Amino acid sequence: MDKFEEIFNQLMEMLEEEKKEKIEELEGDCVCPICPSYNQCAKDSDEKLFCIIGKSEPCITNERGCMCPTCPLAAKFGIGVKYNFYCTRGSEIEHRKM
Ligand code: SF4
Ligand code: SF4
């Protein structure tokens, strides 16, 4: 199990309140809001962390580049390079299962 699977499994085992707090903490490193693909709809819905949460539905539909390879969270957990565009293509876990 790699670092990403570890944090993902930890999140899945957390109670809702604890999970919410951890997600907010992780969101602090997410660079999606400065990505060219990020749009006003996603901003208004405060959507981030697509690598964990999964696709942006229905906000982000046009791929205009992806900042995941430069994201500190991605670097920390070893993701964002092989797979990215999580907002339109699904979470890291979904990619790995394909
Ligand atoms: S890897 Fe991409 S989706 Fe995940 S936190 Fe970083 S910028 Fe956001
Ligand atoms: S997942 Fe990638 S493409 Fe989508 S908003 Fe985040 S950085 Fe941009």
Report the sign of the C-alpha dihedral through residues 79, 19, 56, 59, in that order: negative
Q: Which ligand is the nearest neighbour of the Cα of 38?
A: 2
Q: What is the pTM of this model?
A: 0.96
- From the CA of 16, how far away is ligand 1's center (Å)? 21
Residue-wise pLDDT tens digits, 66-96: 999 999 999 999 999 999 999 999 999 999 9
Ligand 1 contacts CB of residue 67 (under 6 A): yes
For residue 98, pLDDT over 90 is answered with no
Report how many domains make up the chain: 1
* Helix (H) or strand (E) segment spanning residue 3: helix 3-13
Residue-wise pLDDT tens digits, 15-66: 999 999 999 999 999 999 999 999 999 999 999 999 999 999 899 999 999 9
pLDDT the model gives residue 16: 97
- From the CA of 64, how far away is ligand 2's center (Å)? 9
Domain around 44: 3-97
pLDDT the model gives residue 38: 98
